Structure 1
């Protein structure tokens, strides 16, 4: 069987974080290039859309595959970023994290309802887990996506635009990394390769 191509972890992280970092920097410093304070978010949104599509293009060029999460996120970025620019209303780009996270939460719970844990597909996972492990991990990630959606709603509705932009870069990503690391005990407990080794050992 041909081994599936995967991006090096650091490159994958750079492609995922790059557009967000550019979004933050453009919003922070666009005034130095002649943009008024109330126009910085639109300059940042335009560059965010371009950078997101560029990252997706690079991803496809390297592995000839479009990962599910970045692809869905890119579609929402283009649609809501386009509405933000066309209507000059930053509410649309602020809604993007809420919509994307809610979508993934619903997809994961829907998969569990039909007894098809979809986490491996959604997260482009490299893990090999038992069926019980996938169910538990999928349920946890679904709840986490819903929590991120609610948190985004609270932040953009109660804080300034600059605070929300900073939260997107320095809040959501660290929270996601911490949550993923917190799942390590579950991953180790339901690692399929270890189960296979234990079964082979007991049959020896």
Structure 2
């Protein structure tokens, strides 16, 4: 089933809205303690508990409107439920903070597994988005796999060595900016290995 087109602003809102909502709610509730069922929960745990259904609702709406979710979105949703749920269940924020590490190691590992088989599984997922030669896809896949492993290491260093608030800023803005800058930095690759033809020529 092909993906249905929707307003790009709506699509972006559904993808980024829950993350920005988590950030805003954390800043509002970070210093508060909530007693629920006789157990004390820090604001971070309460915000995490609220983020899970909000994220799933946004992904559900995105799927309903477009008829499509990427494999990356599905895996991310599963890991949010598992690790976010563990943080809430055990009243321990470390599980949720480890989630980006697991996601990036998993994605990097999958790309590496394809490379070891002489294949670019990134090409299989994104070929319709970025027209590249086979060689270009292999180069981009190697770079992206290394980049994902780098993000995993960065996430571990930030949440283990810095404050919780610093990690929230890093998770909300730092990781997103890093991914944006990574693809912006691939301009020469896209230029040298692009397959689009000039229709005006």
* Structure 2 counterpart of 1:74, from 67, 77, 100: 77
- The one-character-per-residue Cα deviations of 1:137-179 (angstroms, maximum 9, x if unpaired) are 1111111111110000000000111111111112111111111
In structure 2, the residue matched to 1:110 is 113
Conserved 8 A contact 1:102-1:146: yes
* Structure 1 counterpart of 2:185, from 182, 186, 194: 182
How large is the Cα RMSD of the aligned pairs? 2.5
Tell me, in whole angstroms, the C-alpha distance in 2 between the residues paired with 1:123 and 1:42: 35
Tell me, in whole angstroms, the C-alpha distance in 1 between the residues paired with 2:162 and 2:31: 24
Shift of the alpha carbon at 1:62?
1.1
Shift of the alpha carbon at 1:44?
1.4
Conserved 8 A contact 1:77-1:96: yes
Q: Residues 94, 34 of structure 1: CA spacing in aligned structure 2 closer, same or farther, 3 A cutoff? A: closer
When structure 1 is superposed on structure 2, of 10-19 and 111-120 the one drifting more is 10-19
Which residues in structure 2 correspond to 1:5-20 (within 5 Å)?
Answer: 5-20=4-19
Tell me, in whole angstroms, the C-alpha distance in 2 between the residues paired with 1:9 and 1:127: 18
* Structure 2 counterpart of 1:144, from 142, 147, 150: 147
In structure 1, the residue matched to 2:134 is 131
Q: Residues 115, 23 of structure 1: CA spacing in aligned structure 2 closer, same or farther, 3 A cutoff? A: same
Runs of 5+ unmatched residues, structure 1: none
Q: Residues 57, 133 of structure 1: CA spacing in aligned structure 2 closer, same or farther, 3 A cutoff? A: same
Q: Residues 22, 159 of structure 1: CA spacing in aligned structure 2 closer, same or farther, 3 A cutoff? A: same
Tell me, in whole angstroms, the C-alpha distance in 2 between the residues paired with 1:180 and 1:79: 29
In structure 2, the residue matched to 1:157 is 160
Conserved 8 A contact 1:42-1:90: yes
Number of residue-to-residue matches in the alignment? 196
TM-score w.r.t. the length of structure 1 is 0.86
